[in-house]
Amino acid sequence: MLKPRLVPFLAAALLLAAPVAAETGKPARIVSLNLCADELLLRLADRGRVASVTWLARDPRGSNVADLARGVPVNRGLAEEIVPLRPDLVIVGAFTTRTTTALLRRLGIPVLELGAPESLDAAYAQIREVAGRIGEPERGEDMVRGMQAAFAGLPPAPRHRPTAIVLRPNGFTAGRGSLADEILARAGLDNLAARLTPDRMGQLTLEEIVTAQPDLLVINASSDGPPSLADELLHHPALAGRAGHSVALPTRLWACAGPELAEAGRRLAAARQAVAQ
């Protein structure tokens, strides 16, 4: 937590080291405090304009841009780390440390806050928003067009769609109206969880999953992550016997707005075709 006595010090540091505006008018020292923002920033901005990304960006277990993040200064979301970097734009997430975000705004540092997209259109809009804010709208459009083309190229859905349930740690699932729900549909699958829970992110018990008998079980977790009690249900013997009717999909493939959403769709479409054989 930021100590109150540091606020005047940080304000003075910001005034004494105010960033020089880039000749192009684009933000020249951009900082990210959110993994999803890290991924967009590292892909859309020239490296010399990226002042810092989160330490999570370097971890390939959860990051899609670990290679791009190599050598880029990292932060843990502390205001004491951010202010001395003299940022002219800080990109945060809806769940980024609220104390840090509030202080940055109080100091007059431009902040762009990103929410969690709940549809592909929202994901495309977020990509365009970030690209426009950092002065790279064409790069954003290129990314969106690539994703749209990838989804358009998925195998057509069959008349009778196989059912699927997304299973996340602690029994959480993807319900109706979620981003995962739309990607399942684009991959030609019928999201069975949408009929079992009224929430976008509901919970299912082992009994509910076994009784529902989905044609495909989508295990949404990291295969190389550390052991966790939250993952116990994912490896329960009652579900382990469904190895031929399950697919592992890392969380990083459909947690953020970016090209990996299309890759998630491709893998799900391939799994759907395998189930139908």
Reported as a single tens digit per residue, the pLDDT across 143-199 is: 999 999 999 999 999 999 999 999 998 889 999 999 999 999 999 999 999 999 888
Backbone angles phi, psi at 122, to 5 degrees: -65, -35
Q: Could you give the CA distance from residue 153 to residue 26 in angstroms, rounded to a whole number?
A: 35
11-58 pLDDT, tens digit per residue, is: 444 444 444 444 567 999 999 999 999 999 999 999 999 999 999 999
Residues 69-116 have pLDDT tens digits of 999 999 999 999 999 999 999 999 988 788 999 999 999 999 999 999
33 and 100 in contact (C-beta within 8 Å)? yes
**CA-to-CA distance for 9 and 276, rounded, in angstroms?**
64
Nearest to 75 by CA among 41, 26, 107, 45: 41
DSSP assignment of 35-75:
HHHHHHHHHHS-GGGEEEEEGGGG-TTT-S-HHHHTTS-EE
Give the per-residue pLDDT at 140. Answer: 99
**Cα(140)–Cα(40) distance, rounded to whole angstroms?**
9
Taking the CB of residue 16, how many other CB atoms lie within 10 A of it? 8
Question: Who has greater pLDDT, 247 or 7?
Answer: 247
The model's pTM is 0.88
Question: What structural domains and CATH numbers belong to the chain?
Answer: 6-115 (3.40.50.1980), 158-276 (3.40.50.1980)
Lowest mean pLDDT among 3-12, 27-36, 126-135: 3-12
